[in-house]
Structures are given as C-alpha cells and as structure tokens.
C-alpha cells in the first residue's frame, strides 16, 4: 500500500506493512474497530510494561468514553533516540 503524504502511519517500513494488513483486513470485513489508540514512545519498554499500559488505556476508554472493551485497539510504535526529537533537539543529543 502506498501511503499518501498526509496519512503516514509513522514508524518504520515493517510498521507500515502491519498497518496495511490491518487496515485492508479490517476494512474488508466491513467493521471498523474504534477507538484506535497509537502510542509512540522511545524503545526499551518490556512486554509486561506495554501490557500494563494497554490495560490501563483500555480501562480508561471503557470507563470514561463508554467504549466497548473488545472494540479498542492499541498500537505501540517504538522509536530510537536518533529518530525522536523534543523541543527541536534529538533525544540522543539531550543531556541527562
């Protein structure tokens, strides 16, 4: 799938392939799962940490937005410090 410049899923080419598969299969079934949450963060979190984050975000959407638990989709997009900037400065260049 070629992504229009205004609809770029970010991350890397592997993420784009997963998004393409997900979108084509999901939209092909005639069902759109909502809400869809994408969390972009620096690399380094464990599967257990992501599991806990996914549960808490899902719980919040169920409780506060009235979303159906089974309809909530969460995607984690991990980026390297070389590919993430804050305040105009790459994270790899920031002093701790």
Residue 84, in any domain of the structure:
yes
Residue 52, in any domain of the structure:
yes
Residue 10, in any domain of the structure:
no
Contact 75, 35 (CB under 8 A): no
Contact 65, 59 (CB under 8 A): no
Residue 27, in any domain of the structure:
no
Nearest-CA neighbor of 45 among 77, 87, 13?
A: 77
Residue 13, in any domain of the structure:
no
Domain that holds residue 55: 33-93
Q: Of 16, 35, 75, 76, which is the active-site residue?
A: 35
Task: Give the phi and the psi of residue 70 in degrees, each rounded to 5.
Answer: -70, -15
Report the CATH number that the domain containing residue 77 is assigned in CATH.
Answer: 3.30.429.10
Give the number of domains in the chain.
1
Residue 7, in any domain of the structure:
no
Residue 57 confidence (pLDDT): 97
Residue 1 confidence (pLDDT): 43
Low-confidence ranges of the chain (pLDDT < 50): 1-7
9 assigned to active site: no
């Amino acid at each position: 799938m070629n992504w229009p410049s205004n609809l770029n899923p970010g991350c890397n080419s592997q993420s784009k392939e997963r998004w393409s598969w997900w979108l084509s299969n999901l939209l092909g079934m005639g069902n759109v799962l909502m809400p869809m949450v994408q969390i972009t963060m620096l690399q380094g979190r464990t599967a257990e940490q992501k599991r806990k984050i996914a549960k808490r975000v899902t719980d919040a959407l169920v409780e506060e937005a009235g979303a159906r638990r089974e309809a909530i989709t969460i995607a984690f997009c991990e980026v390297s410090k070389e590919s993430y900037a804050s305040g105009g400065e790459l994270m790899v260049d920031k002093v701790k």
